Amino acid sequence: MVLIRSILQRAWQSAVSVAASSRAPRSGGSLSLPLLCLWFFTCALQTPTMNAADSPAPSSPKPTSSATQRATFGGGCFWCLEALFELQDGVVSVTSGYAGGSTPKPTYEQVCTGATGHAEVVQVEFDPAKTSYETLLGVFWRAHNPTTPNRQGADEGTQYRSIILCHDAAQTLAAEKSKREAQPRFHDPIVTEIATLTQFYAAEDYHQDYFRKNPSKAYCRAVIQPKVDKFKKEKAAR
């Protein structure tokens, strides 16, 4: 009823406007009252009605898939880890970022000073129906040297430390178990830190998909490409 009343009110206002304009001198004469009434009811009938079921639903943001999970790892330059985890089956996305420190919303320049406490990390979104957290831990141990404190190759500083940031208690247990099982493969003790993730900050846009976007850069050719080639070879052999 409210909708019909609104339609009739709009039609009536239009009719009044036509009637008012017909008083002004123009060629063709004025609009007669019978024609005005006919025009008024015709407009009312031609105006489309809308049921409640026909009303457009309010827009809502796209929901995050509840089928995926996240894992966060740090092991040297995040460009390297990102390139390797992107090759793993079941991985939906990899985001380079910063975590493990105290400075809120750090910049790359701040993290590079070592004063923020943050490490360069990657956050991996994965489909547990296609790969497991334990499998990702296996990729992590192969992707870097977990026995060198605060250093990976020429990259040195606390921001390059080996670290696993767990999202829940189950991940903590799995990480600790995986660390024990990985130790026999290394001559030196594993120094990887295992901690609870409190906050993850995505890195600047130019860091995302760095290897894929910059394969000809000197660092990519000299450091990342050999790791990618080795990972692909090992993957093919399994």
State which amino acid sits at residue 66. Answer: S
- What are the start-end ranges of the E strands in the chain? 69-75, 91-99, 119-126, 151-152, 155-156, 162-166, 193-196, 200-202
* Domain spans, the chain: 70-237
Query: Exposed/middle/buried for 108, CB within 10 Å: 0-12, 13-18, 19+?
Result: middle
pTM here is 0.72
- Condensed to tens digits (0 to 9), the pLDDT of residues 61-108 reads 333 457 999 999 999 999 999 999 999 999 999 999 999 999 999 999
- Condensed to tens digits (0 to 9), the pLDDT of residues 155-182 reads 999 999 999 999 999 999 999 999 999 9
The pairing of strands 91-99 and 200-202 is antiparallel
- The helix/strand/coil state of 59 is coil
- Report the pLDDT value the prediction gives residue 235, as an integer from 0 to 100: 86
Distant-in-sequence contacts of 136-140, Cβ < 8 A, 24+ apart: 136/71, 136/73, 136/85, 136/88, 136/91, 137/164, 137/174, 137/175, 137/178, 138/178, 139/84, 139/85, 139/88, 139/231, 140/73, 140/75, 140/81, 140/164
- Condensed to tens digits (0 to 9), the pLDDT of residues 214-228 reads 999 999 999 999 999
- Residue 219 burial (CB count, 10 A): 16
Average pLDDT, the chain: 81
- Report the pLDDT value the prediction gives residue 237, as an integer from 0 to 100: 87
Q: Would you place residue 123 in the very low, low, confident or very high pLDDT band (cuts 50, 70, 90)?
A: very high
- The larger pLDDT score, comparing residue 22 to residue 212, is at 212
- Report the pLDDT value the prediction gives residue 186, as an integer from 0 to 100: 97
Could you tell me how far CA 34 lies from the centroid of its own chain?
64
Residue 105: CB partners within 8 Å, gap ≥ 6? 201
- 37, 43, 77, 220: which one is catalytic? 77
CATH of 70-237, one of 3.30.1060.10, 3.40.630.30, 3.40.50.2000, 3.40.50.970: 3.30.1060.10
Active-site residue 43, yes or no? no
- Report the pLDDT value the prediction gives residue 65, as an integer from 0 to 100: 59
Q: Taking Cα atoms as reference points, which of 228, 116, 128, 201 lies closest to residue 161?
A: 116
- State the first-to-last Cα distance of the chain, in angstroms, to the nearest integer: 70
- The larger pLDDT score, comparing residue 136 to residue 14, is at 136
